[in-house]
Amino acid sequence: MANNPIDQDALAAEWGLALESDDAAAPVPPPVKAAPVAGPGVDDDVASQWEAMVEENQSTQGNKGADRILNQEEIDSLLGFNLADLNFNDNSGIRAIIDSAMVSYERLPMLEIVFDRLVRLLTTSLRNFTSDNVEVSLDTITSVRFGDYLNSIPLPAILAVFKAEEWENFGLFTINSSLIYSIIDVLLGGRRGQNLVRVEGRPYTTIETNLVKRMIEVVLADAELAFKPLSPVKLNIDRIETNPRFAAITRPANAAILVRLRIDMEDRGGYAELLLPYATIEPIRGVLLQMFMGEKFGRDPIWEGHLATEIAHAEIAVDAVLYEAKLPLRQMMNLQVGDTLPLAVKPDSMVAVRCGDITMTEGRIGRVGDRVSVRVAKPLRKPKTTLAMFENSDETRNRVDAQ
């Protein structure tokens, strides 16, 4: 019966009716007389029709059950580790999750005010330096890993390592090649609107390096003025590097503040980046954490005036010391009732006026009515001990007492 052609035609007709009725409803065709298919006498045409029908149903059902293979761009977007488009500001995927856990530091409100003031100062300073119309804008302020930043620097570039003398640590200032050639072209009298001729693959000449170094000195001088209301600091260039490997100022895993500045000179310009490790700004961390209002940099003149008024109205006790002498402890222990202590004081001797342990002035003793008085004979003395010396002496005293 399996070799009878009449049975094969009937089977094909039944298959056609099944496909017309259940084409969109079921991914697998109904098992109509499946036994003859599995039998050894069914022709190859029936098997091929079965496979074609299964493939057609899978395509009509939206490829259900089939695995979709991602291309390389989708994999890079998912992981966020595309080195060609490395960006510290707009990471996504797994890279964003990792960075959010690794570089998560407290916000420093005062630091934003400092760099806003730096932008305004640079706009004026660079205009005077280049004699051209210069526009400086603050691009981003981010927290990055130092090692990741060094790996992301596009070469060629010039890196200036500077030292903050008062903070006793280093910082990094980077200028990309576009800004380098723009500054050189402006300072050497290049015409506007022409394409810059860049010779790649060669080191910067001494003239180019010195011109860029002058610009870096201008930027660091303005950075000193920007930080001056918070903490006076002197930023001195330590060395100029063109290889990021030689500009390591901290460990690769340490975090740092990265400030990116955009400098435009009409139809030319580039980027400059200022990097400050968190260890560098640690001495002024308490000041940077303060909240700010406007441009007061944490200082309030109303409170300053109120404090000065209250200090002026404060009452203090002063002592008039007629005579003071040092006696051995043995003599003090042997004092008896009736003993006399001579005072080496003459009638016209001066009397010391003290406030605590500090001698403020001297005067002459007298009488006003029924009270003893002291007439001030010399101007007030300014204490030689500063607040810093007083704190250091207090810390030394506490250290000695602890020992």
- State the maximum Cα–Cα separation within the chain, in Å, rounded to a whole number: 153
What domains are there in the chain, each with its CATH number?
5-60 (no CATH), 72-102 (no CATH), 109-288 (3.40.1550.10), 316-402 (2.30.330.10)
Residue whose structure tokens are 């002496």? 393
pLDDT digits (tens, 9 = 90+) for 151-208: 888 888 889 999 988 888 899 999 988 888 888 888 887 766 555 555 566 778 888 8
pLDDT digits (tens, 9 = 90+) for 124-151: 998 888 888 888 888 888 888 888 888 8
Mean of pLDDT over the chain: 75
Is the pLDDT score of 88 beyond 70? no
d(Cα 126, Cα 215) in Å, to the nearest integer?
Answer: 8
Residue 386 buriedness (CB in 10 A; 0-12 / 13-18 / 19+): exposed
Is the pLDDT score of 251 beyond 60? yes
pLDDT digits (tens, 9 = 90+) for 9-57: 666 667 777 666 655 454 554 454 444 444 444 456 656 776 666 566 5
Give the CA angle between residues 15, 17, 20 to the nearest 5°: 110
Going by C-beta distance under 8 Å and a sequence separation of 6 or more, which residues neighbour residue 193?
267
- Give the residue-averaged pLDDT of 1-14: 58
pLDDT digits (tens, 9 = 90+) for 346-372: 777 788 888 888 888 888 888 888 888
pLDDT on residue 161: 92
CA neighbours closer than 13 Å in the CB half-sphere of residue 279: 15
pLDDT digits (tens, 9 = 90+) for 334-353: 888 888 888 777 777 788 88
DSSP 8-state code for residue 232: -
